[in-house]
Amino acid sequence: MLDTSLNTGYIQPMKIASRPRFRKLKINLQSQMFTLSNAKTYLGRLMEKAGRGETVYIVKGRQRFILQEVPEIEPVPIRPPNYFANAYSQAEIQEDNRLAKASVIRAPKDLE
C-alpha cells in the first residue's frame, strides 16, 4: 500500500530542459571523398566500393589518401632440396664456415 500522506503541494510539472537532439547526418556513399571520421564509420562499405574498382579518397586536413584494392602477391616458391648444392665449391663452404666460427664472440672459458 502506498503512503499518500506526504503531499508536497506542488501542482506544476517539473520543467525539463529542452536541448536539440543531434541526429546522425546521413552520408552520401555515392561520393568519392570522405572525411577520416566518416571513413572509419563506413570502412566496410568503402572497402566494397574500392573492391569494385571505384576510387575512394579519404581526407584528413589537407592530406588526401586513396583507398584501393591491391592485387594478391604471388608467394615465393619453395626451393627443392639441394637447390644450392652446386652454387659453392666445398672449399668455399669450409672457408665461410671457418670465418663464421671465428666471428662469434664467446664467453671466457672460466665463465662456462
47 or 82, greater pLDDT:
47
At 103 the pLDDT is 80
Please count the CA atoms within 13 angstroms of the CA of 16 that sit on its side-chain side: 4
- Identify whether 112 is part of a domain: no
Query: Is 37 part of any domain?
Result: yes
pTM above 0.85, yes or no: no
Tell the residue number behind the cell numbers 672459458, with chain if given.
109
Residue 45: partners with Cβ closer than 8 Å, 6 or more residues away: 29
Measured distance CA(55)–CA(33) in Å, rounded: 9
Confidence of residue 40 (pLDDT cuts 50, 70, 90): very high
Structure confidence at residue 5 (pLDDT): 58
Q: Is residue 81 part of a domain?
A: no
Residue 13: per-residue pLDDT: 67
Into how many domains does the chain fold? 1
In a domain, 51, yes or no: yes
| 70-104 confidence digits (pLDDT tens) | 889 998 888 888 887 788 888 988 998 888 888 87
Predicted local confidence at residue 1, as pLDDT: 55
Name the DSSP class of 43.
Answer: H
CA-based nearest residue to 59, from 38, 30, 44, 29: 38
- Antiparallel, parallel or unpaired: β 56-60 and 63-67: antiparallel
Would 48 be classed as within a structural domain?
yes
Domain of 37 in residue numbering reads as: 33-67
